Amino acid sequence: MLEWMLLGAALLPHLEQVTPKIWAAGFADKHGSANCGWIARGNDTLLIDLPRGVAVAEFLAEVKRIAGKPVGEVLLLTPGKGDDAILAELERSGVKRAAPRADGLYWDAQSRVLFAGPNVVNGPRAPLAGANTAEWVKRLGKAERLGARLVVPGRGSWGAPSMLSRQRLFLEELRRQVAYGITMGRPLEAIQAELLLPASYYTWMPYDNPAAADIAHVYGEFTAPMQLSGARPRALVLIGDRFHEPEHLEEGLRPAFAAAGIQPHFTVDVKHLTASNLGQVDLLVILRDGMLWPGGPAKPYAIWMTPEQERAVVEFVEGGKGFLNLHNSMGLYPENGPYLNLVAGRYIGHGPLERFRVEVVDKAHPITKGVQDWSAADEQHTPPYDEKKAHLLLRNRSDEGQTAAAGWWYEPGKGRLVHLASGHTREALGHPMFQRLVVNSLNWLLRK
């Protein structure tokens, strides 16, 4: 072993045998701190990713010397500059190219070694241009569930599987902060100036700080024109504002859509509420107020809903579709406008954050089927509603005895509308009774 280690070090200074049959090799900063590796198989060696800055012929000879078997196949996980030339030379040397992996992962279950490819950058900055960061987070979650013993990232030092969760948390927090800035109407430049991630999400601090271009990429993902897809029924779900960070809202609502068999399209950008987008869905769900804060909390707010958006919502519902109006989605919208007239209620404030009871008033309606009175820590909203239009479903009651409407339904035109007043906290959103109420509401709105 000492002989191959000494010989390998001359050509590959960052080389390690990580199991009896698996090796990892790293390359210099000018090659993006890229890695490759190889696995000795029955009659040949599988090369994972490409040698960077090393003569291919010498590299292949060295791998054969170390592994005891020639390289028969190469699997490219982490694309880089100069790939075509390297791949062509490998092919001329008799190395076949393996079918690409859509998830960018190679898992050796026997040794529990994971080659993570472009999914993990453990050190140098992770460039985000061209990436789908939402899908990236999902792939990392999949990788974490494998239970790896050792992870070889596409770039940066290999080591403990904790780098998977660190990379996921890095991306999730980056997305969360950018999304929250968009819900407030903050311009990109302000988000770039204010964004700050926890130090525990970095490995080569400060070199892996997200650059302005990375923040702009994520901002563009959230604000790009919506491409609605997936099986019907579909819902356009507008969430998040200054007082309601969107991450926990999506976490709280997504299980109800899954239970109802509905494809939700979550958005934090109010510009996505258009007649065109509504024309592609069967349901509209809103959990956000009517305010934007483009200058930050110290500056006056602006009401975001335009006359065109009000008209689009009214025509959508009265034309035969469903609208689930949640929590604060009557707050500070255009006064006496078509939107609030459609919802048939008004936001006039709420009590302190505390536990209060939600009582079922109409137990015969499909929306309240299986729903029992419950308590949860939440904001007790106290909206007056139009009793000539809407039918009361729920009432909330504080410890001091204050009561208010907590939910109603009615059928405007050919459509259907439900308002539910709960939903400020994780506790309130995740309560089994509220979840059942949302599922029932979605089903009723779709006439299931």
% of the chain residues with pLDDT over 70? 98
Other CB atoms within 10 A of residue 320 CB: 12
The pLDDT tens digits of the residues spanning 277-313 come to: 999 999 999 999 999 999 999 999 999 999 999 999 9
Strand order in the sheet with 113-122: 106-108, 113-122, 150-156
Report the predicted TM-score, pTM, of the whole model to 2 decimal places: 0.93
Residue 117 burial (CB < 10 Å; 0-12/13-18/19+)?
buried
pLDDT band, residue 127 (cuts 50/70/90): confident
For 178-220, write each residue's pLDDT tens digit: 999 999 999 999 999 999 999 899 888 888 899 999 999 999 9
pLDDT digits (tens, 9 = 90+) for 133-148: 999 999 999 999 999 9
Confidence class of residue 8 from pLDDT cuts 50, 70 and 90? low
> 200: which DSSP letter?
G
Q: How confident is the model at residue 2 (pLDDT cuts 50, 70, 90)?
A: very low
Convert the pLDDT of each residue in 40-61 to its tens digit.
999 999 999 999 999 999 999 9
Q: What is the dihedral of CA 291, 293, 294, 296, to 10 degrees?
A: 180
Question: What percent of the chain stands above pLDDT 90?
Answer: 92
The tens digit of pLDDT for each residue in 388-407 reads 999 999 999 999 999 999 99
Predicted confidence band of residue 81 (pLDDT cuts 50, 70, 90): confident
Domains in the chain: ranges and CATH: 2-164 (3.60.15.10), 168-220 (no CATH), 225-445 (3.40.50.880)
Longest pairwise C-alpha distance within the chain: 89
pLDDT of residue 158: 97
Confirm if 164 and 140 have CB atoms less than 8 A apart: yes
